[in-house]
Amino acid sequence: MRSTRTVKFADTTTNNNNNNNNDSRVVLNVGGMRFETQRATLKKLPATRLSKLTPQLSYYDPVLNEYFFDRHPGVFSQILNYYRTGKLHYPTNVCGPLFEDELSYWGIQREEVEPCCWMTYTKHRSTQETLQTLDSLGLETARSTTTDLIKKFDWENDFHFITSGHLPIYKRIRMIIWQLFEEPRSSITAKIISFISILFILLSITTFVIRTLSIFEIIEYDFVNVYINDNQTEQTPVHNSQRRDTISGFDVIEWTCNSWFVFEIILRFIVAPSKRVFCISILNWIDFLGTFLFFFTYILYNVFNYTGHYASLDLLSTIRVARMFKLINLHPRLKIITTTITSSSALLNLSIFFCLLAILISGSSLYYVERIMNPSESQIISVIDGVWLALTTITTLGFGDIVPKSLLGMILGAITTIFGVLIIDIPMPIINETFDNFNRHLLARQQLPKQRRRITPAAIPRKIKPFVPPNGHVHQHDC
């Protein structure tokens, strides 16, 4: 037995007049918050998502007669206000990247943000640059993973690794040694090696400093024959001021320290992932030159018995004090300081330029003012003297060896002092702010969890259109 039921759809032609009255109004449901506006308002910005609303779209709900968007409702209020007023303002209660994502979704250019909100809007870009810089420094990574080390050494295509999943033993030893010397916080052994390196650096620098004290100096005398009226007298001891020797204990300490430095730099060079990167490192050059100059001066004085002045070569040996820069890799805060200086290099170069410009202008002005006002008593006899006076004034050293004598020269010197204080002090708050920015983000990132849950992107549902026969009737058959 088969029964047939006929279902008739309402004739939409009878309601055209009523629908035409409601066609101008659009209901938008954004994140559960309903917004109502006019279609003419949404047409003000062509080529955007809201200007192309049609009932055929997947996010149109025919039952509620509204468009649903699973987006941030707080940001959308500013988006809709932009359609109404033509002015796009930045909401202060959302993050910058979120606002950019919303603008991209609704098809609005970020350059449309009003100038009054531009600084607030672009602040997050500075934050992103800071975070990228911190990522490049690797301050949070105490120990690199095996995968990271393989990528660093560029061994992803190693045949043995591809076939067996393990690296050859000599490559594994190379990675372990590199990690011990380059990542001092990776293990207890690495911390011990780091402590030994710091100990030898401090011991070498301390020895270099205290050996110059007179209490550790060995006085050398040369015996010369003294002739009085062609009669030779006894040999008279004369102090040799050209040579300064110290007790031999310092040489033992220096040899011990530099032997460790030689062992360290050779081993680090052998296991380095990139020999080119190792050779262009400034810290490695400081370490190499400090060690080289020690052996060079030792061989020169003790093997070839060089009798020249010690101070000329000792001046070059002061580069070993720069080994203190190696401590930068051992503490994140020290790296932050050097990164701050590097990031502020453009500002520092500009400050140096204005400082040199002020010195030249002030120095030449002081020379000509003194020459005109009081030429007889003037101590500034050339522009070079004026530049020297301006330099010591702007840098607030004030040696007092050269001073202006005329009243106008004194006034000009006071103005130079004021400008010097301004030129030097104005960049300091900006540099301090940069350091504080890096430091705050470093502290914040160290407190974040290492692993966070990642949300997969949601799939956009497709709209399913109901099948309507051409005659407007649906025949349902029941058996």
d(CA 277, CA 172) in angstroms, rounded, equals 21
Six-digit token pair at 433? 């702010």
Six-digit token pair at 393? 């004034």
Six-digit token pair at 308? 């020249």
Residue 3: predicted pLDDT: 45
CA-nearest of 342, 340, 338 to 326 is 338
198 and 316: one domain? yes
* CATH code of residue 131: 3.30.710.10
* 441 belongs to a structural domain: no
* 474 belongs to a structural domain: no
Per-residue pLDDT at 108 exceeds 70: yes
Six-digit token pair at 129? 């640059």
Q: What residue numbers bound the domain in which 111 lies?
A: 12-135
315 and 196: one domain? yes
Residue 80: predicted pLDDT: 92
SS3 label, residue 230:
coil
45 and 74: one domain? yes
pLDDT averaged over the chain?
78
* 270 belongs to a structural domain: yes
198 and 307: one domain? yes
* CATH code of residue 363: 1.10.287.70
Considering only residues 180 and 129, tell me which one the structure prediction assigns the higher pLDDT: 180
d(CA 122, CA 440) in angstroms, rounded, equals 19
* 408 belongs to a structural domain: yes
Residue 369 phi/psi, 5° resolution? -65, -45
Residue 452: predicted pLDDT: 54
36 and 108: one domain? yes
* 212 belongs to a structural domain: yes
Give pLDDT tens digits for 204-237: 888 888 877 777 766 665 555 656 666 556 555 5
The pairing of strands 25-30 and 33-38 is antiparallel
Considering only residues 452 and 429, tell me which one the structure prediction assigns the higher pLDDT: 429
- DSSP H helix total and E strand total for the chain: 18, 10
With 0-12 / 13-18 / 19 or more C-beta atoms within 10 angstroms meaning exposed / middle / buried, residue 417 is middle
pTM above 0.75, yes or no: no
Last-in-domain residue among 299, 328, 357: 328
d(CA 269, CA 265) in angstroms, rounded, equals 6
194 and 319: one domain? yes
The pairing of strands 66-69 and 25-30 is parallel
Per-residue pLDDT at 294 exceeds 50: yes
Last-in-domain residue among 135, 155, 180: 135
- Please name the amino acid found at residue 332: P
Tokens 């380059």 -> residue: 182
Six-digit token pair at 254? 């220096």
395 and 303: one domain? no
272 and 369: one domain? no
69 and 101: one domain? yes
Determine contact, residues 380/363, Cβ cutoff 8 Å.
no
| CA 466 to chain CA centroid, nearest Å | 58
- Please name the amino acid found at residue 364: S
Q: How many domains does the chain have?
A: 3
CA-nearest of 427, 269, 417 to 347 is 427
The residues facing 217 across adjacent strands are 246
How many other CB atoms are there within 10 angstroms of residue 321's CB atom? 15
Per-residue pLDDT at 318 exceeds 70: yes
Contacts of 187 (CB under 8 A, 6+ apart): 143, 179, 180
Per-residue pLDDT at 8 exceeds 50: no
d(CA 216, CA 247) in angstroms, rounded, equals 6
Give pLDDT tens digits for 432-443: 888 887 877 777
Give pLDDT tens digits for 19-55: 444 568 899 999 989 999 998 899 888 888 998 888 8
SS3 label, residue 311:
helix
Per-residue pLDDT at 2 exceeds 70: no
The residues facing 245 across adjacent strands are 218
Residue 254: predicted pLDDT: 87
391 and 314: one domain? no
To the nearest 10°, the Cα dihedral for 251, 257, 258, 259? 100
d(CA 130, CA 113) in angstroms, rounded, equals 23
Last-in-domain residue among 265, 299, 328: 328
State the average pLDDT over residues 74-98.
Answer: 87
Contacts of 73 (CB under 8 A, 6+ apart): 30, 31, 32, 33
Give pLDDT tens digits for 360-371: 999 898 888 888
